[in-house]
Structures are given as structure tokens and as C-alpha cells.
Structure 1
């Protein structure tokens, strides 16, 4: 049997106040409405819960036992609701993010230290994988992906760099042996170190210059999963071939001279990534705080 919870609350109010009039003053509900609710609960249970006289209202034995149990249960409910309210008012809890490896390497390191210092009661858990996932099914609160990989039922806000570009590079030793390409099509005659997705598809390399867009399928002497591109960078530094990756990723090797730019006038620029999540209403406080932080800290 499913009892009427509103009637149970009315019974607690009347039994605690010791009468319908006092309970009405305490709850703002009319005495007649309270009386009807208690009568409804008694009918549902098939028990008399209150002994009523013109002077007093006193719980029966069954009513006293029920009152004790309901007061304890309602205290637990109020505590649970108060705890939930804490999540709304104060960022306190866990954010679970699903991001590609490049975001874990290039975007989050510039955001998380400041965010965690500003919101020390928020725990951040990061899972790195390349493919777009159903963040809810994966148990995550939000993800980071690029615009072309988002679906329409997601709320997306820009995060991190306003724009990025892919850089192509090779070691000085490789270029000394094989020469510098002057057009992207020349790469078809070079050793390349492309990445591949989880489906096994090799990522195309894209170039753009003066409105001309060129896409090539790089011939791979070493093909690396996109989640392990550091191996391709290491191989390129060791002279194994050409690598194409986010400029920020290759920048330390370019600045040190371990790698040299290749086809730099053709490097392709694109918009930065997005933080995406489901639903605009009642966003959990930790996630809402993170959204606000990333919107204020783009570069």
C-alpha cells in the first residue's frame, strides 16, 4: 500500500501541535484541510491514529508509534534535501570529464590549477579517449571535443584556445637526407608518421594556403593510435619521418631545434575546442563553477 505522503505530513503536524487549530497556525493549512488529510490517512491504513475530543487531540498507541517513525523519517528527508541544497549553493562534489588526449595535454593543464585553487572542495576526474562518447552513459558530467564532432542535443561552450593549427615537422637529420617538401603533395614521397582512430582509419593531413585546401592520406612508415601520438613525436625527433600534430604539442621540439617546421605557410588553422554537457537547467554547482571558470579564462 502506498500511503498519501501529504496526509502523513498533516498527521505529524497535528499530532505534534496537539490539535488541528494549532497545527493550522504552524503550517498555514486550514484546520479543515488537515482534518480531512488525517481522516484520509486513517482510512488508507484502516487504523485510528488520533483520539479527538473537544479539548484535545491525542495519538492512539498506533498513532504514537507511527508519529515516532515518521518524525525520524522526515528528519532524514530534510537532511537529505539540505545536503542537496548544499550542492546547488556551494561548489562541492566531483566533476567527471571525458576529453581527447590533446585536450588533456594542451588545454586542461592551463585551466585546472587555477580552477582547483579557486574551488578547493571540487574533485576533478579526467578520462582521456579520442572518440565521441555518450557522456551520461559513460558516467561523466561533461566532455571536450571539437565542433564538428558534437551533436545538436548538447550544450557547448568554447574552452581554452580560440584557435589552433596543425603543424608539420621533421628532424634536421631527416630533412638533410630527404630534402624539404615545397607542396603538401610532396609528402606522398616521404616517410610519414600518421595517427589512426580506434576504428583503424588513418587520419588525413590537411593544409590550406591562399584559399587552396589540400588533404592527403599520408603514407605511414609508422602508424600510431591517436591516444599515443607521443610515440610519433619521438620517432620524428629520431629521424624516422614527418609528423603532423597540434602546434602547441610540437612547439617545445620546434623551439629546441629537435624538429624543424615543414610547409609552415600551409599549416591549417581551425577553431578551438568546446566543453559540452547535457541540459541548461539545474546544472550541478561544481560543473556550473567549471563552466564559468573556462568562459572567463580563454586564450
Structure 2
């Protein structure tokens, strides 16, 4: 059968949002209109695509299979139509980025305002999460991640600082009570504020000085989700609860104000900065192309 593209787009929005109201909001339509589009699509296909309850909307097995193939396909249609954007005086449209919380906090603030000022016809949508996602299935044009998490078929463009460091710090009051570590292994005897990734993996604290590399799995009274709850750990460190291991740039304001004191700074490990990445197998939409050119400049 021939399915209307608007009906397919409505199904895609509802399936991703897990709800008719949120799906309708995502594409700027009414909930009733989106619901009718999905019913029309199901009737034409002769198969149920969504399980509907009063609390949730979940794709059926058939719906999940359609969603898996439909996201990339509609992305290609959008990219093909976007070719005409190149004939405009100024690129227009929506640019959707998926980034880690650290990039939303430390990298994008210096880039987003001047970019939007330079391209007033572009609307930027940013989703911040620390799990690695399939960009096309998630409806995103590009993402920001660190090089060890990039897939092989992606094109990567440097963005933000090219070298970053993990810093170790605690409140002066905590260090006055418990002492100042002189070697990373001494952290095993301290209260440490730890992080856990969304995958469930615990964050390992790594230190390096010369040719010596030390990995520590500390213990402590607080465990937070990396990214979303990191500010809670920072607040706890400032309050004197324990020692924190985090991006140096994230902690710099607290260090400069004296709310936190650097620990073992000669051991702080440096690592390469983040990359903007996008699929190399599709046409590059005009808003993304403008963003790439902007960060390269």
C-alpha cells in the first residue's frame, strides 16, 4: 500500500515520544490529528502498530520493526528536500543535536549564542544525555561525544577544547579534618563522591604522572548518575561531604572562589577533547552544514 508521509511522520513522533500529546507537540500538530493519522495508517496497513493504555503508548512488534526502518528513511527524505536550502541566502530549518551533559555545560555555551546570532533562521534543539544513541533513529542530525565512543561510519569534527583534564578536589574544611592525600592510593581511606554511567558502569578514577598510571575504585557516602545528578555531587563536595573527581572546567569556578581545593594536581590526567559527529552515509542538512562551518571557523 501507499502510506501518506504525514501519517508516517505522525506515527514516528508518537512512537518516539511514547505518547500522542508529546508526539503531537514534537511535530507541531494537535493530539487528535496525530491520533487520527496513526489510526489511518494502521487501517491501511491492516496491523496494529501501537499498544495504547491510559498511561503509556508502546510500539507493537510490527510497530517496532517499522520504527527501526522508518526513522533513517524519513531522515533521508528530509535531507533530500533540504538540498534546496542551499539556494537560500541564509540556511533555515531545525538542527537537532544529542550531546552529553558535560558538553551542554562546558562546550556549547560559548558556541550556541554566536551561532544563532549568525544564523537567525535556524532553530537549535539540544538533547543532553550520557548514553550513546543511534542518531538517525533518535531523529537527531548530529551528536557530540569523545573519540573512544565514536562509531566507525561517523564523520567527526573537533569541537570545543582539544585537551581537557579530570580534576580532584574537596572543600578545605573536609581536608582540614581528614588530611590531604599525597598519592592516589590514599584515596581509598577517604570519603569519595562517585559517579555511575547510565549503562550501570561505575566511573573509575584514573591518575597519571610521568610513566605511572594509577586506577582507583574509591568508596564513599554518595553515588550519583553521571551527568544528570553531577551538580548534586558538586554541592556535596562544597559542603564538606567528601572528595570529588570531575572535569577541571566544571570545577574551575569553585576552585577559583576557594570553595574547593585542588588535590594531587600533578596526577591529573589529560584526555582529548570532544567531537561533533554525524553519519557519513547521508546528505548533510543545511543547518548542520552551517554549524560545521561555524565551529571550524
- What TM-score, normalized by structure 1, do the two folds share? 0.70
Q: In the alignment, which residue of structure 1 is the partner of 2:268?
A: 267
Deviations 1:61-100 (A, max 9, x none): xxxxxxxxxxxxxxxxxxx9x9745423341000100000
Gaps of 5+ in 2: 3-77
**Structure 1 position 220, deviation (Å):** 2.7
Q: In the alignment, which residue of structure 2 is the partner of 1:287?
A: 288
**Structure 1 position 176, deviation (Å):** 0.2
Residues 103-118 of structure 1: pairs in structure 2 closer than 5 A: 103-118=103-118
Distance 2:121 2:231 in 1: 33
Q: In the alignment, which residue of structure 2 is the partner of 1:93?
A: 93
Distance 1:271 1:83, change over 3 A: closer
Question: Contact 1:165–1:246 (CA<8 Å) still a contact in 2?
Answer: yes
Distance 1:273 1:83, change over 3 A: closer
Q: In the alignment, which residue of structure 2 is the partner of 1:231?
A: 232
- What TM-score, normalized by structure 2, do the two folds share? 0.70
**Structure 1 position 274, deviation (Å):** 0.5
Distance 1:84 1:214, change over 3 A: closer
Q: In the alignment, which residue of structure 1 is the partner of 2:248?
A: 247
Distance 1:84 1:173, change over 3 A: closer
User: Which is worse superposed, 236-245 or 273-282?
Assistant: 273-282
Distance 1:221 1:158 in 2: 37
Question: Contact 1:86–1:92 (CA<8 Å) still a contact in 2?
Answer: no
Distance 1:139 1:204, change over 3 A: same
Query: SS state of the match for residue 98, structure 1?
Result: strand
Question: Contact 1:88–1:284 (CA<8 Å) still a contact in 2?
Answer: no
Q: In the alignment, which residue of structure 1 is the partner of 2:58?
A: none
Distance 1:183 1:199 in 2: 30
Question: Contact 1:155–1:280 (CA<8 Å) still a contact in 2?
Answer: no
Deviations 1:221-272 (A, max 9, x none): 1000012100000000000000011111000000000000010000000100
Q: In the alignment, which residue of structure 2 is the partner of 1:192?
A: 192
Q: In the alignment, which residue of structure 1 is the partner of 2:278?
A: 277
Mapped pair 1:142 → 2:142? yes
Question: Contact 2:168–2:264 (CA<8 Å) still a contact in 1?
Answer: yes
Q: In the alignment, which residue of structure 2 is the partner of 1:181?
A: 181
Question: Contact 1:157–1:276 (CA<8 Å) still a contact in 2?
Answer: yes
Larger radius of gyration: 1
Distance 1:138 1:220 in 2: 36
Distance 1:249 1:96 in 2: 24
Q: In the alignment, which residue of structure 2 is the partner of 1:121?
A: 121
Distance 2:275 2:192 in 1: 29
Distance 1:160 1:113 in 2: 14
Deviations 1:107-152 (A, max 9, x none): 0001001100110110000001001110111110000000001110
Question: Contact 1:171–1:238 (CA<8 Å) still a contact in 2?
Answer: yes
Q: In the alignment, which residue of structure 1 is the partner of 2:46?
A: none
Distance 1:201 1:282, change over 3 A: closer
**Structure 1 position 280, deviation (Å):** 6.3
Distance 1:133 1:221 in 2: 31
Gaps of 5+ in 1: 3-79
Distance 1:153 1:83 in 2: 23
Question: Contact 2:162–2:273 (CA<8 Å) still a contact in 1?
Answer: yes
Q: In the alignment, which residue of structure 2 is the partner of 1:213?
A: 213
Across the aligned residues of Structure 1 and Structure 2, the Cα RMSD in angstroms comes to 2.0
User: Number of matched residues?
Assistant: 218
**Structure 1 position 294, deviation (Å):** 1.1
User: Which is worse superposed, 196-205 or 137-146?
Assistant: 196-205
